[in-house]
Structure 1
Amino acid sequence: MRPDDGQEARVTTPDDTPQPACPICGKPASPSMKPFCSKRCADVDLQRWLSGRYAIPGRDEDALGQDDGTHEE
């Protein structure tokens, strides 16, 4: 179960209590590894951050590094 709409994935336990799902594989999250189900999934997520697969968008700056819209020529 992987969400594609930005919503947090949840799995349902036998007593119908929703539990957060691991963002990597969709299995129920482990309390000791939250939000992941295992160390392996936590390591997969870390590797994605370190390799640049995940990125936080920022604003573009001009060629001179000024972000106020003015240009020196």
Structure 2
Amino acid sequence: MMCTFTLTVEVKIGMLLREVVILAKLKAIQLDMNIRFSFNGTRVFVSPDADIEKVIDRYHADCKKIK
């Protein structure tokens, strides 16, 4: 079964991708589930056991594909 819900996290203007990924990872650990979100129009996937550097590298690779 798959469920979808909205999670609101306070993200301030000017926050770096790394800061947002860390917040998402902490929430993923707390909820024990994967989190997907959009950062500057590009989708980002974070799991509870995700490597933050790999998530950021993947984001940059996806950004290059889109351009």
State the TM-score, normalizing by the size of structure 1.
Answer: 0.28
Higher relative contact order (CA 8 A, sep 6+): 2
Q: Which has the larger radius of gyration?
A: 1
Q: Which has the higher helix share?
A: 2
